[in-house]
Amino acid sequence: MVKLSAVQLCSVPDVNANLDAIEQQLQLLEIAEQHLVVVPECCLFFGARDVDQLTLAKDTADNGALRLGLAKLAEKYRVHLVGGTIPSLTQQGDKFTNSSCVFSPQGEQLGRYDKIHLFDVHVQDNEKHYFESKYTQAGKSVEVVKTPFASVGLSVCYDLRFPELYRQLRCRGADIITVPSAFTRVTGKAHWQTLLRARAIENQVFIVAANQEGVHKNGRETWGHSMIISPWGEVLSSLETGTGVATAEYSSEELVKVRQSIPVSEHNQFKTELMSYE
């Protein structure tokens, strides 16, 4: 049996407190032979100024404390853990990448995806203006991680609005696509579930979307509604508000059935070449 879980958090600007919050949810997981667990974007530090993320990236660049903390949790609870995102200092040292790291049940890092699409937008909420690119450097590579039960494509939050990335992940063999997020309350209410279901349906993949939820220390409001969606577009499990976990079973048989019944990849007349952003 393979389980998929999306952990919903209301993260704070305190790494240790957030690690504790994640562990509290991992302790409640259902038993499974294999388990893929996704935690939200900015899972270890959220609710402060964006420049504080850069400071954290600098402070942990040498000791890898953020990755180590997540790796230990993956090993302790014997799960494949998609560690939301953490800030990783760039070589130049003036910015960080918003990095989603995947850890095995042995605590090994299996892969890393640096968020490609940066959230520079105007939203009618408490924040009004978001300028992610001020301190964040965009990633350049599409990433799919192989696990014993499925190939997992990686994406983050604002990526959800760019179907080209998801088609690239599908072309690279993704069976499951993860979407750790900190979707705003305004945009989440309008678009979150619609976009998630669309990405699942058009690419015939399972979607595991873990979102932040609540009002954070800096006043940002996040939407929650973490959910798991089937390749047919069904919402298999969801959690609207509060902290907790949405869990569903992964079925390779269902994946094959959907893809054979409507062979979208074979019928697509706009053949997508595998692209590199590097």
Give me the active site residues, please: 41, 115, 157
Q: How many Å apart are CA 180 and CA 212, to the nearest integer?
A: 9
Closest CA to 224 of 235, 233, 215: 215
Q: How many Å apart are CA 122 and CA 106, to the nearest integer?
A: 42
Cα→Cα distances 3→73, 135, 165, 200, 262, Å: 17, 36, 25, 17, 25
Residue 7: beta bridge partners?
245
Exposure string for 122-152, b = 16+ CB within 10 A, e = fewer: eeeeeeeebebeebbbebeebbbbebebbbb
Q: How many Å apart are CA 242 and CA 225, to the nearest integer?
A: 9
